[in-house]
Amino acid sequence: MNRSPHSTIYQSVDPYTQTKVHFTPTQSIKEVQLVIDQLDQEFQKWSKLSITDRLTQLSQVLKELSLTIDTQAAIISTEMGKPITAAKGEIEKCLTLLDYYGPNSEVLLTPETYGDTERVIYQPMGVILGIQPWNYPIWQVFRFAIPTLIAGNTVIIRHAPNVSLSAKSIQSLFDNANLPILKCIFSDNADTETIIQNPKIKGLAFTGSTHTGSLIASLAGKHIKPCVMELGGMDPFIVLSDAKMPDTAIAAASARCTNSGQVCTNAKRFIVHESLVDTFIKEYLKATEALIAGDPMDPKTTYGPLARKDIYDSVIKQMTTSIQMGAKAHTSPIPIPDQGLFIKPTLLTNLTPDMPVVTEEVFGPVAAVIPFKTIEEAIQIANNIPYGLGASIWTESKSSAEEIIPRIDAGAVFVNRAVTSLIHLPFGGTKKSGFGRELGRWGLHNFSTIKTVVTKF
- pLDDT score for 2: 41
3-class secondary-structure state, position 207: strand
Question: pLDDT tens for residues 204-242?
Answer: 999 999 999 999 999 999 999 999 999 999 999 999 999
Question: pLDDT tens for residues 124-138?
Answer: 999 999 999 999 999
7 pLDDT tier (thresholds 50, 70, 90): confident
The strand ranges marked E within 225-364 are 227-230, 235-239, 267-273, 328-331, 346-349
Provide the mean pLDDT of the chain. 96
Question: pLDDT tens for residues 252-263?
Answer: 999 999 999 999
- pLDDT score for 1: 36
Per-residue pLDDT at 6 exceeds 90: no
CATH number for 235-423: choose from 3.40.50.11540, 2.40.30.10, 3.40.309.10, 3.60.15.10.
3.40.309.10
- pLDDT score for 209: 94
Please tell me the total number of residues recorded for the chain in this structure. Answer: 457
CB 81, CB 341: distance < 8 Å = yes
Q: What is the CATH number that goes with domain 10-231+433-454?
A: 3.40.605.10
382 pLDDT tier (thresholds 50, 70, 90): very high
Question: pLDDT tens for residues 64-122?
Answer: 999 999 999 999 999 999 999 999 999 999 999 999 999 999 999 999 999 999 999 99
Per-residue pLDDT at 4 exceeds 50: no
Per-residue pLDDT at 39 exceeds 70: yes
Other beta carbons less than 10 A from residue 91's beta carbon: 21
- Give the global pTM: 0.95
Question: pLDDT tens for residues 139-198?
Answer: 999 999 999 999 999 999 999 999 999 999 999 999 999 999 999 999 999 999 999 999
CA 220 from chain centre, in angstroms, equals: 20
Q: Where are the domains of the chain?
A: 10-231+433-454, 235-423
Distance, in Å, from the CA atom of 125 to the CA atom of 224, rounded to the nearest integer, reads 14
Instruction: State how beta strands 412-415 and 390-394 pair.
Output: parallel
CB 54, CB 380: distance < 8 Å = no
In the DSSP assignment, the letter for residue 187 is: -
User: Which residues are identified as catalytic?
Assistant: 230, 264
Residue 205 CB contacts under 8 Å (≥ 6 apart), including other chains? 128, 129, 130, 131, 144, 148, 227, 228, 229, 230, 436, 438, 446, 447
